[in-house]
Structure 1
């Protein structure tokens, strides 16, 4: 699947950044991949919630 990418600057609280780095390391992902993974999972959850009666 081809997709375009957009580069952004993101400011995070220090503790949130440290947590994301730790979780990414645990799951053997880059920080970028971890953030993308969490956004995609969150998007799926929102979509599922939107379909509930």
Structure 2
């Protein structure tokens, strides 16, 4: 692995979970379920792009 390269697990698992958690937190804080949907869409897109770039 190159120096400074991101491990594929981070982009496929950890980063999408961060987006989902942020969406849940914002949806509960502002009482807007649309923010949960936005977090889920960002998580799906991030995971897809990470899998596409990592080759898995």
After TM superposition, the score normalised by the length of structure 2 is 0.42
